[in-house]
Amino acid sequence: MAFDRYAAIDDITSISGKDLRVEKRPDGHTVVSFEYEKRIPLFGPASLVIEYRGSAQ
């Protein structure tokens, strides 16, 4: 996917092309949305989970 090539150049590691959803709306607009989570280990079995969601037309 083209996004993965651009992400490699710009050193983007938090999101990849497989996290993107591209859909064409009946009104002709293209909408790109994403949803992913980031886990940050804290200590022992505990970790912090951050959920990201967004979209753009």
Instruction: Give pLDDT tens digits for 1-57.
Output: 688 887 888 888 778 888 889 999 999 999 999 988 889 999 999 999 999 999 988
For the chain, the structural domain boundaries read 18-57
Helix (H) / strand (E) containing 9: helix 2-9
* The pLDDT value given to residue 37: 86
Spatial neighbors of 7 by CB under 8 A, at least 6 apart, are: 13, 15, 16, 17
- Structure confidence at residue 7 (pLDDT): 81
- Specify the pLDDT at position 1: 67
pTM exceeding 0.75: no
pLDDT score of 26 = 92
Three-class secondary structure of residue 34 per DSSP: strand
Within 10 angstroms of residue 43's Cβ, the number of other Cβ atoms is 6
